[in-house]
Chains A and B, each alone.
Chain A
Amino acid sequence: MNLLLLTPEWVVLGVLALLTFFELFQFKDEAFYKKVRNLLQLGGLLAAFAALLCIEPKAGTAFGGTYISDPFAAFFKFIFLLAAGAVIQMSREFFDQRLERSHEFFLVLWVVLAGFFLLVSANDFLVLFLALETVTLGFYILNAYLKNDPVVIEAGMKYFILGSLASAVLIFGISLIYAAAGSTLFPDVRASFVNDPQNPLLVTGALMVLAGLFFKAGVFPFQLWIPDVYEGAPTPAAAFLSVASKAAGFAAILRVLYTVFLPLEDKRALLFGTLALLTLLYGALGALRQTQIKRLFGYSSISHAGYLLIGVAAGREVGVAAILFYLSAYALTTLTIFLVIAIAGRELGSDRIDAYRGLGRRSPFLAGIFFLALLSSAGVPPLAGFTGKFLVLLAAVRQGLTPLALVGSLAVAISLYYYLAIVRVMYFAPPSREEPITLCPASKGMLLALAAALVAAGFFQGPLLGAAEHAAQYLF
């Protein structure tokens, strides 16, 4: 058994243990505690990053084949680390003036991060389920963290009820698969499925497992919770949900689709093409009339899931590489957006789109970065989001899914409308108050780095695409 393969997971768990340990001391000096906590988290992220870099090229399994480490999983772990880093900074911006204590939020964040790490490395349905439950349980807490606010509680309850339902569907699907295959290990299930592709238990089980994962990824018709939860949840939790949960959902979907449910291959384009169309249009059309900014990004994330599904429908190495690129671009874009929302929400005192009036005048820097991120989200070149959309549409056209690509192309124009509506409020309308907004250096630096990454991934796509193509190979 190769326990060294799990080094990134060990690092994350170690940070978690240390954070809990420091919690025991009940420091009188809150500022000192926060400093230690921040340094510890930063060190943990860097250590996990370094560990990932060392582990990345190796592929292997551990724990009797239930855990798999390969570049495909590592690619997602990099995304999770990026998301965790940005979300930690976001949480500082979000909670520091709102709450006296936010320690547990960070603890749970690391639990969820460990869950995500395990989720993309699962090579067994039970590990998959356990990892997914770790993540979901963590999000129950994160989403309802501001427990005095009824909107937040509503969001937490919605996520809890629908999340439990999805888990129930998932575990029932797994039990059907176990009943038919006699094992929960991915390779064993694959063997039985390939031998008996028409087995109703296996087919039903596979569809139920996919349905459970669709909930995480926000795929139609399992997307209803997203706008409500994004609106109510604390901004950092919504950001983590939006980036990491979607990435993890798609990682698991791709993993089971290509390593286990091979007999579904000939139905894949039809199934995922239909879902892509519905998800895309639901998200794009639903976003048109939103007035709450986080709700708007809830719908926008659904429409992004639609593009990712186009990639799944296209399939093969091209489609998977396109999905991986799209997800990285989406992570960069969405984290930038939510970091701006966290800061602006605090400064403007509201998450309504109207509240962003004249932001371009009050803080040209913040508005400029937001503008860039919105355009990237819409898919305007030369930003990361454009390359992602381009690759997905290219993969679809290459695989002969032309109608899907046509709808995907035209939906860009629809989505541009609601993104530009925000820009219009920021730049065209006069501000309600004049005093400029000042940013803390850490946030400023992080925003600059994210914006630079957006432009870099949009113009110099080579390295990221190369990494995505490399990671995608390991699925086949």
Chain B
Amino acid sequence: MIVLLPWIPLAGALLLLLIPANHERALKNFALAATAVPCALTLALCALFKPSLAGFQFVVTHAWLPSLGIHYRLGLDGINLTLCLLHALVSLASVFTACWAKERLKEYLFYFLLLTGALYGVFTSLDLFFLYLFCEMTLIPVFPMIGVWGSKNKEYGAMKMALFITAGAMLALFGILFFYREAGLNSFDLITLAEGLHARGGLAPETQRLIAPLIILGFGVMAALWPLHSWAPIGCSVSPTTLNMMHAGVMEKVGPYLILRVAVAFMPEGVTAAGPWLSVLAGIGILYAGFAAIRQKDLLFMTGFASVSHAGYLMLGLAAMTTLSLSGAVLLMFAHGLMAACAFAGIGFLYERTHIRTLNDFGGLAKQLPFLSICLIMTFMAAIGLPGFANFVSELLVFIGSWNRFPAVVVMAVIGVLVSSIYFLRAIKEVCFGQPNPRWAALKDAAGFVERFPFILLLAALLVFGIWPNGLLRLIEPAVGGLLSFPEARTALSAAPFERKAALPFPEARTALSAAPFERKAALR
């Protein structure tokens, strides 16, 4: 079943080419089916997944290039299952918005399915070669999608995005090859590597300190880590709606995911050593992007900078290397992905109808477009971290989990939350309330299933897991614990003096949070 996840959309993309371009209905239905089936499969996998079992589940292995130790191995643990679920939901919502595109629909859907398949590939593969292959493969659909359907300044934005991501990915590839050699197991397979290195007590600390920065910086570009983020806001501003949803929703999560899978899992000592500067970069990123977002007049730029700012929370969670902060980071990937996709869907909806996305050209939409306004308000509230949405729980986990190691950065991050409330609340005020702009008197609200479904789906998921974060945390926490139980990690962390003090409050905090998240939130309200 798990093998089908990437291959249904990829095969669907090829089959889609056989449908004549003027059969729009058939094209849309076909693309919808090719996205909905893997989504249903992901839900089924979530239902079948047993949180009590350690390690990967549904593991499938095909020998691929045995002479190099490359296997096509797939499997899920709580971390990539969560991300698969995120991708399933966002891609399902996105395919509806893809159907809004009027021009050259067939090619658009083709690229969309290619992107969807590649991202499923990233989240299901357990072999470094395939992780890299699927990760870089996303570049193929992204470039023409921006080129043909993007908006102004697209040449610059697309080129910058492609070059930044590729340079980062190549650096990470070099790190992966280096890791392969140092591990000396003639294998790219994560399970074999984990077992082999486990038996040996992990990589030598010096090696870890050498490779971890390569991986972190390389994939950090994809994660929009400050100061390598500058492609992200411009990329957001030029992309078409669907790509923005997939991009901010899912693709920006690939970078942190791969850092987690490769650097945190195999080079804990290296990540611990890199932690201080990584957390500082994250902190600066949160504030810098937050203040930059305040200055933006363009809604897409503002949301783009907001994404960079939120990526800082993720990196902070990764840098702190505690079960709590890492679980929070994974949950934040999920929550932020849904939130960002929903925000871009809303802004895209407005932009495609008005061709305007500057803040002060709108106004009073709440009366005229009640459904869309409610969705935008809820999304932005979630982004600020209002209790009730999954973002709140995950950010809280990251802050608590990182407090003992990087209190100063956590303070910066909390200030970042305040900053984010400034620009998001202002955006709500300018767009939804205030004087109605007579230019948009004829503007119609999202109506009908096709236009409303993406918002309902994404917001419902945000609310469900905001109220019941344990639904995901019970999957994520054991997996994160598994990563950290790596022998080297334990010694590295317990050797660090600040961790010994920190070790105590964690169990209580964790049980308190995961057992009764709702009460806790209620108390905070």
Contacts and interface: CB of A to CB of B under 8 A. Distances in A.
Contact of B174 (A381, A406, A427): A406
Contacts of A469: 67
A428 B158 CA distance: 10
Given A380-B139, A465-B65, A465-B67, A416 B133 contact: no
Given A382-B137, A410-B167, A465-B67, A402 B162 contact: no
Contact of A413 (B68, B170, B180): B170
B53 interface: no
Contact of A398 (B67, B148, B181): B181
Interface string B118-140: 00000000000100111011011
A72 interface: no
B133 A371 contact: no
A171 interface: no
The interface residues of chain B, by DSSP majority, are classed as: helix
Interface in A78-133: none
Nearest to A321: B67
Interface residues of B, number: 33
A428 B155 contact: yes
Contacts of A474: none
A397 B144 contact: no
Question: By CB atoms of chain B within 10 A, which of A393, A394, A409, A427 has the most?
Answer: A409
A250 interface: no
A423 B142 CA distance: 12
Contact of B178 (A397, A416, A421, A465): A397
A369 B438 CA distance: 48
Contact of B143 (A382, A394, A423): A423
B180 A397 contact: yes
Interface string B168-199: 00110110011011000000000000000000
A187 interface: no
B177 A428 contact: no
Given A386-B136, A461-B65, A465-B67, A427 B147 contact: yes
A416 B173 CA distance: 16
B143 A410 contact: no
Given A360-B148, A410-B170, A416 B137 contact: no
A420 B143 contact: yes
B154 interface: yes
A263 B433 CA distance: 81
Contacts of A416: 162-163, 166
By secondary structure, the A interface counts as helix
Contact of A402 (B64, B159, B178): B178
Interface residues of A, number: 33
B212 to A, nearest CB: 16
Given A410-B170, A413-B163, A423 B181 contact: no
B136 A380 contact: yes
A462 B143 contact: no
Interface string A388-415: 0011011001100010011001101100
B177 A424 contact: no
A372 B184 CA distance: 35
Contacts of A421: 159
Contacts of B107: 364
Contact of A417 (B64, B68, B140, B159): B159
Please give me the 6 A-B residue pairs with the lowest Cβ-Cβ distance, nearest first.
Answer: A413-B167, A427-B147, A409-B170, A381-B133, A397-B177, A409-B174
29 contacts: A360-B147, A375-B139, A380-B166, A381-B133, A381-B134, A386-B133, A386-B136, A390-B129, A390-B173, A397-B174, A397-B177, A405-B174, A409-B173, A410-B170, A410-B171, A412-B166, A413-B170, A416-B163, A417-B159, A423-B143, A424-B147, A424-B155, A427-B147, A428-B148, A461-B64, A462-B64, A465-B65, A465-B67, A469-B67
